């Protein structure tokens, strides 16, 4: 497997679960760091039991469409995997070079996609995409919308719908929440960019009469504007901008809040693909409130509250209700964890991925090696 996402320590529990399944010998190639729009994420080697984590240099690090691993062909020739799983979008250069290297070594190949809006890319990215559709023996889409987009763009091969990562239910374990009173502790975690709608949350909080405190985790270009908005709304003293936290520090942060809000806003070139913070909070029995943007309603199901995206008044009404009804926060929290245990654990995601691997191998002869 080749995955820049797996530099995040919390995500590596899926790899341990996958490596523990029958007849799996797992090698995972990751870069030493990734330069994302919110800053540089350095490799966290936290959960590495049962598989080999290979750190390989990346060229054009931080460039989503054109980054690639110059040493990947050598690793593929050396390891001779049965399956090469590129945990990357099909329109990326890294995926194209990876699938070519896999095919040259006799491996079965697959890619992953989150893209849930129909977008036709200019050359050479459309060429990469079409070539990868031909090269891949299987594809995994993170959501039903992403699967639909993949079909509409011309991919005709076998396809499974599996979120990229789940939650380690042992690591994200709820604390005792009974007896908590006021103030209501509200949290947001994610990128600080306009499409995440943090300004909607601040406006909703400003109209809340019940006592509250808020913690905003994450970084991004909108942080100065959001801090200024909090000052203008007269709520700056009650809003903490906590910056980025390591993935392994997130459970303690979730334990410190009563409600997590994900107020995402649709944009012409973006819609919420999943909202991983929702399942992390739900696993911790934190009540969740989300906008109706993209995949959020499907992730929450009946285990949280929804409001029309951009509607600060509706969000404020939900928060006011939860502030006055701690028993409802507890009920939603328990329902959230039950939903995560049923659908979104790392073990479940690993088992579904393993089913894909078995299907890939059943479609053709094994050529030796690991995954």
The pLDDT tens digits for 186-200 are 999 999 999 999 999
Domains of the chain in sequence order = 5-166+345-362 (3.40.50.2000), 184-343 (3.40.50.2000)
Q: For position 368, what pLDDT does the model report? A: 36
Which is it for strands 159-161 and 27-30: parallel, antiparallel or unpaired? unpaired
The model's pTM = 0.90
Q: For position 315, what pLDDT does the model report? A: 98
**Mean local confidence (pLDDT), 217-231:** 97
The pLDDT tens digits for 32-69 are 999 987 789 999 999 999 999 999 999 999 999 999 99
Q: For position 36, what pLDDT does the model report? A: 87
The pLDDT tens digits for 248-294 are 899 999 999 999 999 999 999 999 999 999 999 999 999 999 999 99
For residue 369, is pLDDT > 60?
no
């Amino acid at each position: 497997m080749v995955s820049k996402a797996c530099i995040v320590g919390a995500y590596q529990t899926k790899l341990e679960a996958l490596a523990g399944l029958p007849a799996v010998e797992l090698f995972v190639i990751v870069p030493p760091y990734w330069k994302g729009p919110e800053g540089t994420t350095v490799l966290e080697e936290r959960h590495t039991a049962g598989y080999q984590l290979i750190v390989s240099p990346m060229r054009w690090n931080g460039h989503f469409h054109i980054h690639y691993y110059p040493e990947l062909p050598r690793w593929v020739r050396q390891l001779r995997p049965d399956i090469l799983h590129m945990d990357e979008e099909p329109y990326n250069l890294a995926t194209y070079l990876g699938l070519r290297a896999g095919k040259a070594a006799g491996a079965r190949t697959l890619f992953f996609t989150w893209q849930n809006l129909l977008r036709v890319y200019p050359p050479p990215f459309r060429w990469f995409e079409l070539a990868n559709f031909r090269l891949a023996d299987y594809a995994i889409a993170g959501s039903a919308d992403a699967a639909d987009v993949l079909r509409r763009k011309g991919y005709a091969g076998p396809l499974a719908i599996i979120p990229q990562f789940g939650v380690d239910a042992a690591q994200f374990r709820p604390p005792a929440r009974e007896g908590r009173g006021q103030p209501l502790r509200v949290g947001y975690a994610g990128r600080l960019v306009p499409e995440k709608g943090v300004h909607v949350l601040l406006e909703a909080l400003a109209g809340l009469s019940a006592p509250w405190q808020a913690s905003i985790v994450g970084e991004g270009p909108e942080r100065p504007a959001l801090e200024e908005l909090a000052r203008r709304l007269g709520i700056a003293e009650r809003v903490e901008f906590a910056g980025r936290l390591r993935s392994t520090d997130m459970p303690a942060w979730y334990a410190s809040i009563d409600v997590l809000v994900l107020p995402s806003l649709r944009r012409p070139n973006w819609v919420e693909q999943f909202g991983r913070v929702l399942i992390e909070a739900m696993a911790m029995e934190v009540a969740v409130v989300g906008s109706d943007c993209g995949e959020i309603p499907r992730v929450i199901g009946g285990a949280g509250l929804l409001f029309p995206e951009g509607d600060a008044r509706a969000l404020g009404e939900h928060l006011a209700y939860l502030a006055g009804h701690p028993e409802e926060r507890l009920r939603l929290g328990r329902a959230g964890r039950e939903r995560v245990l049923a659908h979104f654990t790392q073990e479940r995601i690993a088992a579904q991925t393993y089913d894909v691997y078995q299907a890939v191998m059943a479609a053709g002869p094994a050529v030796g090696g690991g995954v």
